[in-house]
Amino acid sequence: MSLLAVLVPLEGFEAPGVSSFDLPGLFGQSWLNKFLLQAIVSVILIMVFWVVMARKRALVPSKGQFIGEAAYMFVRNSIARDTIGHDFKRWVPLLLALFSFVLVNNLWGVFPLTLMPTAAHVGWAYGLAGLVWLIYNGIGIGRWGFFGYLKHVTVPPGVPLWMFPLIIPLEFLSNVIVRPATLSLRLFANMFAGHLLVLVFVLGGEYLLLHTESAFNKVAGVVSLLFSLVIFALEIFVQSLQAYIFTMLTAQYISSAVAEEH
Amino acid sequence: MTQEVQRDQGRSAPDSTAMDQGMRALSYLISGVLLYGGLGWVGDHFLHTHFLVPIGIVLGAAFGIYTMIRRLIATEGLAPPADGAATMKEGDQ
């Protein structure tokens, strides 16, 4: 009997899937779902955080101020200055805002009360990447003029003239469509997959532990629940890393939109 | 501290640039396959043939790799190995 329960697929268990991300509207409003609420709360939190950080600055920093300054200097130096180089200071506010927003919204995925990264809904990733797209193309057009920028993003460096008809459409597609698309998909896919992984281990473990009979299943359920904690730790790492990569690539796109290429 | 000074002198840190180059290579590959595979699909659709999609995909990938190599040579000062020893990144100014 117990062996049968192990071998036969468990009935009644609904595996988590894409439908786990279709969340209902809150407070009777169809447009106000968990993702939007998290984003709004994150914006308020980030604003309060940075305003407090900017207000209470002392020569000998407190612990809180140290954290704020470390975060600011990380974005300023490791992302903005190292990537954009000359004249990077103009972009620090934008990059800091992006980094804070993406990081906090990613970390909602491991925060016990929310447990859902905002970018696990693809619309948020598209929105963020669309914003970055508008910004870096706008910067490029402002820097080079419309046709100058078009030349900047379509004429590849170092390619002989006779190859131009073959390469120009490719370069355009790569610079204007594929790069921002991968930016959004990378963020979305990481958040989506990470959350799904957590769901599989937690829901599967819970089902095995509480809704099945055999002792083997109960042990497997406990192991699965314990392992979900490891996945959570991995998720914290992935979420921070993706926030960094998103900001870093934004800086890189801005840099390549204004950079001189020969 | 010395690392800070070195970073100040370099225009860009190698790790972030390297990541962008990696992403860019991927982007060229995807673009090439999408563009020329797509063209092949359009060709197949109108000519009622079946061999243009694979040709387009392979050609597109080849063009993507070619463009990436050209870009690296032009922007990074990387010479192909056949050209001799100048494979190191040349100092900026």
**Which of A173, A186, A241, A256 is the mutation pick for testing B, counting most B CBs within 10 A?**
A173
Are A249 and B20 in contact (CB < 8 Å)?
yes
HEC string of A90-129 equals HHHHHHHHHHHHHHHHHHCCCCCCCCCCHHHCHHHHHHHH
Given phi > 0 = left and psi -120 to 50 = alpha, else beta, which region is A56?
beta
CB-based contacts of A182, cutoff 8 Å, min separation 6: B23, B26, B27, B30
Q: What is the pLDDT of residue B15?
A: 62
Predicted ipTM? 0.72
pLDDT in tens, A62-102: 777 778 888 888 888 888 887 777 778 888 888 999 999 99
Around A244, how many Cα atoms within 13 Å sit in the side-chain half-sphere? 15
pLDDT band, very low/low/confident/very high, at A187 (cuts 50, 70, 90): very high
**In chain B, domain spans:** 19-78
Neighbours of A96 (CB within 10 A): 20
Neighbours of B64 (CB within 10 A): 27
pLDDT at residue A27 tops 80:
no
Are B74 and A79 in contact (CB < 8 Å)?
no
Nearest to A85 among B12, B24, B67 (CB): B12
Q: What is the pLDDT of residue B92?
A: 43
pLDDT in tens, A116-161: 888 888 889 999 999 999 999 998 898 888 888 888 888 877 778 8
Q: Which residue has the tokens 């379509």?
A: A154
Are the C-beta atoms of B54 and B40 separated by less than 8 Å? yes
**In chain A, domain spans:** 93-258
Q: What is the pLDDT of residue A1?
A: 47
Q: How far is CA A240 from the centre of its chain?
A: 8
- Along chain B (93 residues), what's the average pLDDT of each consecutive run of 10 residues? 42 62 87 91 88 90 89 72 48 44
Average pLDDT, chain A: 83
The span from the first CA to the last CA of chain B, in angstroms, equals 24
pTM of the model: 0.80
Distance, CA of A223 to CA of A161 (rounded, Å): 62
Are the C-beta atoms of A240 and A216 separated by less than 8 Å? no
pLDDT at residue A174 tops 90:
no
